[in-house]
């Protein structure tokens, strides 16, 4: 969800206004995904590298997440969106961690669309964490020792355990890189780049991305 800061800058607004607008866009896009039958939506809200930002900006983003979750919990029965969080939650405030746990617990029974929110998430961090958990399971005798895991087994150690790899990854705001997003899972994802800044992203932009995706020819290394 990139481009919040530039969106605000273009309007002479503080960066926090861009993040607030971006949060609204997220709400709208998640609702639209449910309407059109998308099964999984995974958004990158805050990376393991975003802590480098000024503390006021980090606080703004965390406060917006807090506000979003409180509202989502109130409207849970109406929206019926299953929500999960990917990332290392140990660095978040205890209050936010509790809200995240409650959201996952209360929304766990909903079916239709699952929204995964990446918070303090890094693709490399996720892979290292998976390797550590796998090694711990080997040491505990829970998985066979001596060999190496196969891809399916190792995938179960990722935050995305049990969730299919993304078909399509959309990067807004004109940047053409993955920036540590879903490095393991994106091996065969179709990538779509748009200059649209995240707060300006909407239903039509998602339609455009999906139409572009539908014209792609996926071969997964084969030739047919
Ligand atoms: C994305 O918008 C939001 C987060 C990374 C939390 P940015 O804040 O990166 O916006 P730009 O890239 O400065 O425009
Ligand atoms: Mg950015």
Q: Could you write out the DSSP letters of every residue in 26-80? A: HHHHHHHHHHHT--EEEEEEEETTGGGS-HHHHHHHHHHHHHHHHHHHHTHHHH-
pTM of the model: 0.96
pLDDT in tens, 41-94: 999 999 999 999 999 999 999 999 999 999 999 999 999 999 999 999 999 999
**Alpha carbon of 3 to ligand 2 centroid (Å):** 5
Neighbour tally for 159: CB within 10 Å: 21
Which ligand sits nearest to residue 7's alpha carbon?
Answer: 1
**Alpha carbon of 220 to ligand 2 centroid (Å):** 30
Strand order in the sheet with 82-86: 40-47, 114-121, 82-86
Instruction: Compute φ and ψ for 93, nearest 5 degrees.
Output: -65, 150
| Residue 118 bridge partners (DSSP) | 44, 86
Report, as residue numbers or ranges, the catalytic residues.
2, 50
| 1 touches ligand 1 (CB under 6 Å) | yes
- The residue written with tokens 């964490």 in the block is 129
Residue 221 has pLDDT above 90, yes or no: yes
**Alpha carbon of 6 to ligand 1 centroid (Å):** 8
Atom of ligand 1 nearest to the CA of 1: 1
Residue 125 has pLDDT above 90, yes or no: yes
For residue 147, what pLDDT band results from cuts at 50, 70 and 90?
confident
| 130 touches ligand 1 (CB under 6 Å) | no
Residue 138 has pLDDT above 90, yes or no: yes
Nearest CA owner, ligand 1 atom 6: 46
């Amino acid at each position: 969800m990139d481009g919040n800061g530039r969106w605000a800058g273009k309007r002479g607004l503080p960066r926090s206004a861009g993040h607030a607008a971006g949060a609204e866009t997220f709400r709208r896009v998640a609702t639209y995904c449910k309407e059109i039958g998308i099964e999984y939506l995974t958004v990158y809200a805050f990376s393991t590298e975003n802590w480098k930002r000024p503390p006021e900006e980090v606080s703004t983003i965390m406060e917006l997440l807090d506000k979003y979750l409180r509202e989502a919990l109130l409207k849970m029965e109406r929206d019926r969106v299953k929500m999960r969080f990917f990332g290392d939650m140990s660095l978040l405030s205890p209050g936010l961690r509790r809200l995240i746990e409650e959201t996952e617990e209360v929304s766990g029974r909903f079916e239709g669309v699952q929204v995964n929110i990446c918070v303090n998430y890094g693709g490399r961090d996720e892979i290292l964490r998976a390797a550590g958990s796998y090694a711990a399971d080997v040491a505990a005798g829970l998985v066979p020792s001596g060999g190496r895991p196969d891809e399916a087994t190792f995938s179960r150690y990722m935050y995305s355990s049990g969730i299919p790899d993304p078909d399509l990854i959309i990067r807004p705001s004109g940047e053409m890189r993955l920036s540590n997003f879903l490095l393991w899972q994106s091996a065969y994802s179709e990538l779509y780049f748009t200059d649209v800044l995240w707060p300006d992203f909407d239903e039509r932009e998602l339609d455009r991305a999906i139409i572009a995706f539908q014209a792609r020819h996926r071969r997964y290394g084969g030739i047919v």
